[in-house]
Structure 1
Amino acid sequence: MRTKIHFLLPVAAMLALAACSKDDVKNPAHPIIENPETFGEAGMIDIGDEGAAEISAYDPSTKRLFVVKNDGINMIKVLDLSDPTKIADLKKDILITAGAVNSLSVSNGQLAAAIEAVNKTENGRVDVYNTSTNALIKSIPVGALPDMVTFSPDGKFILTANEGEPATDYSADPVGTVSIINVADNYAAVHLDFAKFATQETALKTKGFRIFGPGASFAQDVEPEYITVSADSKTAWVTLQENNAIAKIDIAAKSITDIFPLGFKDYNTDANATDLSDKDGGASFKKSPVKSMYQPDAIAVWQQNGGIPYLFTANEGDVREWDAYAENKRVKDLQLDPAAFPDAAALKAETALGRLNVTKTLGDANGDGLYEALYSFGARSFSVWNGLTGAQVFDSKNELDVKAKDAGIYDDARSDDKSIEPEGIAIGTMGNKSIAFVGLERVDAVAIYDVTDPLAPRFLKMLKTGDAPEGVLFVDAQSSPTGKSLLVVSSEGDGVIKVYTPKN
């Protein structure tokens, strides 16, 4: 266990807060004007070791922070966040039996926990607790491996992305599903799968959708990862990470209406120049004849005045790598088509593309064993998509890599894999600005962007975090215990939770 250190807010910041009336804090018509470029660390707590601080959820009514903790005894850690400079362990943990927690969400005094079964290919459950007493309210069966849970903004529904990963020997491969739980109807649940889209498989694949698991049906191969819900609680979008797509859901109709394939990123352009070798002596960004799959993990929706819903995705990338089947190979181990790669020998050097991990499921269109194209995992970026059509309207290209290098935190040892690995994303309102927070798992940082114009996000700053930030949680000023916006980052690599706040 690491020593727990707490940081105090500057006196000037506390005085500025004291000068704000309670009505100013709570009334959106008089928003607190904050400068997101002044975010700094306000406090931290260490709650364990690896796996001890994965996902956090905050309850404004009790000022409690609930944290997934799976580093031995599986539990939900309950912390007092009433003073972010002195985060306290309340010693009121919620112990989890028969499974492990993957995700948490809070609404109206209720805490929803997504819990996978001991055997991950069996159906999981959502447990709902009272945030004041920790009493279990309801346990609801859902699909296999519920990886993410969220309340709709109006608190009327709980949604889970049930990933349905296969057993490592492929003896079982559950159907991937999304569960919609009606809170008011005694938590009645409907479970949606993707079987009806099987007839569109060929057309979807031509746009970058992937169905490739050995012996899997369409419905089995789809793996829902992360969900976001529109402000009016009518529409949800879920990332299908391994499949390189986003699905759109009509909540009232309890129907999946669309699958949006995300296509591929081209690293052979100046704007997308990246480092694809961990043996080239350091970070060196250059064009390469490689494409990549976006494969987003977290997703967040931003919409203004009933306009177009814009979807923000953290394009982490993921690989199916099981005992019975692995899709990844290094470029040096592939046979490259000499017509497409006349300089194949040079490209396969370890200082070039030789060590880059790519999928063997794409790039050999005619099945002759010679690869005429290379497709790597993840886009090393965050993107913005039109939530109605699935069209990309923005991508950060190579900026996150470049900013990590500028900050002296780029890890060249990850260049051959997925680089910085953008994993978490949260969007919040600060005064009259919309701000995005992008968690970068492999460089232990969060990148902050002004996304008030979602078509032209602007980089603001990089914040250092604990090891391998997993959870990125924004608490707006109206809900915050201090009356100022908070960013809560939980890091699964070292069990550290850090809280940041603007200093002005």
Structure 2
Amino acid sequence: MLSTRPRLRRAAAPILVGAIAAGCLAAAPATALPVRTAVVDAPLEVATGDAALTLSPVGTYETGVFDESAAEIVAAYDGRLYVVNAQAGLVEVLDVKKPSKPKKLGEVVSDGIANSVAIRADGLGVVAVEDADDKTAPGRVVFFDATKKKPRVLGSVEVGSLPDMVAISEDGTRAVVANEGEPTDDFSTDPEGSVAVIDLPATVSAATQDEVRTADFHEFEEGGSKPLPEDVRVFGPAPEADLPVSRNLEPEYVAVDGDTAYVALQEANAFAVVDLDSATVEEIRPLGFVDHSEAGHGIDASDRDPQDAPTFTVRTFEGLKGMYLPDGLVAYQAAGETYLVSANEGDAREWGDYVEPARVKDLGDDGLAPVCETSPAAALTGDADLGRLNVSTAMGLSADGSCYEELYAFGSRSFSIWTTGGEQVFDSGEDFERITHEAAPEFFNSNHGESNLEGRSEDKGPEPESLAIGEVDGRTYAFIGFERVGGVIVYDITDPAASTFVAYLNNRDFSVSVEDDGVERLSEAGDLGPEGLTFIPAETSPTGAPMLAVANEVSGTTTLYEIDAIS
């Protein structure tokens, strides 16, 4: 595994101030919500001395809704942004022809919960919508015409349970939907996860139900025709006896490359390879684990180190591994080969009485097995070491189940680049924690709604959530958003195995802690909880230069960034 150590400089001295039927979805007029365009006075920035580009926030649209997923996923088309507002169950349409002054044009409204949106080059829009009353019921994909100033709804088709993400193939012939199939909150019902493949019409019109095919995981069940690799995580209780593998695998994110889709199975720490021509899952490939005892792969595992106080301490730990558990997954080409880029967020299963994570110091209590006396982690269970770190109770047990030989943390606090065969060619290692500390040492590993020091060290650190890829001046870059501490980090991934850090920018004012100061100061806080990113190439940008749009689910803001190449 490879890791680059950036040459860090402070780019600017930070001043810490300031289930629906076709046709049921409809375009609605703009409401009288206030529109603000505030960008924080001094975004925090770190860059390499020879950085080839800079990010600059130029305009923000605010819903005024705090911590309710009012801005999740964003797509761009013809001078407009289409932003998923899950809190309101709709897609907001923003005019960004003047990027410094985004304004709301209208909405695409549903009686379900919008989860994802994508738009084809000719203006055919697709929205993944889960059932508003029962997330285990079949969901729908709704089609709309984005060429209209007020989008016109064209129809819808039924897909699997909880359609969480939709992507359109580069040639525009197919939409691919990750049907996550989460269980009910009490874990009484657990639907199958699946992938819907929708053949799209050549015109801006709705597909029909006959054009929907479903790729399932049935052949990976016991006795099926396809092997399930050992490192694919299938775990936890099974409320329904039939199809336990299919119910356990929960497709999260889709990357399409030609006639193949690569689908992140986040909790399973794997990805599925889907043949789109036949709509079948060909393989499931595990991602393996990062060894946190290796140099360059340390973490800050405690908010009470070393003397019961928060201190920046990135270090390695014997007996500790990390599960990548990626959320965002994107495909790109380099030197004629396809690679996958993953944002390794981490995620645990917590449904009903089943709670997967536990702090290391609690292992051995309340019916949990202890750490084995022979484990190298046995001497590291104090708060200053691993004691406060959340780890999986489903991983690392000895053969007889009596104790934990190894500990497995959630997420790797990194991003990775993989071959389509599942071989890792690059991992950013401990870069993220070191770079975000350089940017804001007093708020290292802060949470999003609350400004604090090390609020997330014992969990998943900066929490890389999602990413976008774009080309600027012939170089390929990955833009990765941090869900907790906030901000966007940029890597040059033109040569996958030799990827390098370029810049990090955080449009956040840590002096405002919304959970403490109240939502009336939300507008001053900046962007909290980046969830979805989209790269806007120069040829379709409202300014003629490349831009980045970021939807922030905690602050309910959507921010546009200028991308300036440095010659």
Q: Same fold (TM over 0.5)?
A: yes
**CA offset digits 1:306-339 (Å, max 9, x no partner):** x221000000000101123111111111111101
SS in 1 for 2:350: coil
CA contact (8 A) 2:470 2:535 kept: yes
Unaligned runs of 5+ in 2: 1-32, 40-50, 364-369, 446-453, 508-526
Counterpart in 1 of 2:491? 449
CA contact (8 A) 1:45 1:87 kept: yes
Counterpart in 2 of 1:164? 181
Identity fraction in percent: 38
Q: Which of residues 251, 257, 260 is equivalent to 2:285?
A: 260
Q: Which of residues 17, 27, 37 is equivalent to 2:53?
A: 37
CA contact (8 A) 2:270 2:325 kept: yes
Question: How far 1:502 moved relative to its partner?
Answer: 2.5
Q: Which of residues 414, 432, 435 is equivalent to 2:474?
A: 432
CA distance, structure 2, for counterparts of residue 158 and residue 239 of structure 1: 16
CA distance, structure 2, for counterparts of residue 205 and residue 336 of structure 1: 26
Question: How far 1:48 moved relative to its partner?
Answer: 2.6
CA contact (8 A) 1:176 1:220 kept: yes
Counterpart in 1 of 2:535? 474
Unaligned runs of 5+ in 1: 8-34
**CA offset digits 1:336-357 (Å, max 9, x no partner):** 110124x73x422112111111
Q: Give the TM-score of the pair, scaled to structure 2.
A: 0.79
Counterpart in 2 of 1:110? 124
CA contact (8 A) 1:439 1:447 kept: yes
CA distance, structure 1, for counterparts of residue 562 and residue 251 of structure 2: 32
Question: How far 1:369 moved relative to its partner?
Answer: 2.3
Counterpart in 2 of 1:189? 212
Paired letter, 1:4 = R
CA distance, structure 1, for counterparts of residue 426 and residue 549 of structure 2: 26
**CA offset digits 1:456-478 (Å, max 9, x no partner):** 11101111141000011100111
Counterpart in 1 of 2:390? 357
CA contact (8 A) 2:551 2:558 kept: yes
Report the count of equivalent residues: 466
Question: How far 1:199 moved relative to its partner?
Answer: 4.4
Matched, 1:394 2:426: yes
SS in 2 for 1:455: helix
Counterpart in 1 of 2:152? 135
Paired letter, 1:214 = P
Q: Which of residues 106, 112, 124 is equivalent to 2:139?
A: 124
CA contact (8 A) 1:235 1:251 kept: yes
CA contact (8 A) 2:35 2:63 kept: no
CA distance, structure 2, for counterparts of residue 436 and residue 178 of structure 1: 26
> Within 5 Å, which residues of 2 pair with 1:33-432?
37-49=53-65, 50=67, 51-60=69-78, 63-71=79-87, 73-90=88-105, 92-97=106-111, 99-107=112-120, 108-118=122-132, 119-131=134-146, 132=148, 133-184=150-201, 186-187=207-208, 188-199=211-222, 204-206=228-230, 208-215=231-238, 217-230=244-257, 233-280=258-305, 281-289=310-318, 290-304=320-334, 307-334=336-363, 335-341=370-376, 344=378, 346-387=379-420, 389-408=421-440, 409-411=443-445, 412-432=454-474
CA distance, structure 1, for counterparts of residue 291 and residue 237 of structure 2: 27
Paired letter, 1:89 = K
CA contact (8 A) 1:116 1:124 kept: yes
Counterpart in 1 of 2:5? none
CA contact (8 A) 1:162 1:224 kept: yes
CA distance, structure 2, for counterparts of residue 428 and residue 247 of structure 1: 24
CA distance, structure 2, for counterparts of residue 146 and residue 165 of structure 1: 10
CA distance, structure 1, for counterparts of residue 474 and residue 101 of structure 2: 29
Q: Give the TM-score of the pair, scaled to structure 1.
A: 0.89
RCO comparison, higher one (Cα < 8 Å, 6+): 2
CA distance, structure 2, for counterparts of residue 102 and residue 449 of structure 1: 27
CA contact (8 A) 2:292 2:317 kept: yes
Over aligned residues, Cα RMSD in angstroms?
2.0
Question: How far 1:145 moved relative to its partner?
Answer: 0.7
Paired letter, 1:138 = G
**CA offset digits 1:205-257 (Å, max 9, x no partner):** 53x21001312611111110000111xx3111000000000111111222211
Paired letter, 1:197 = F
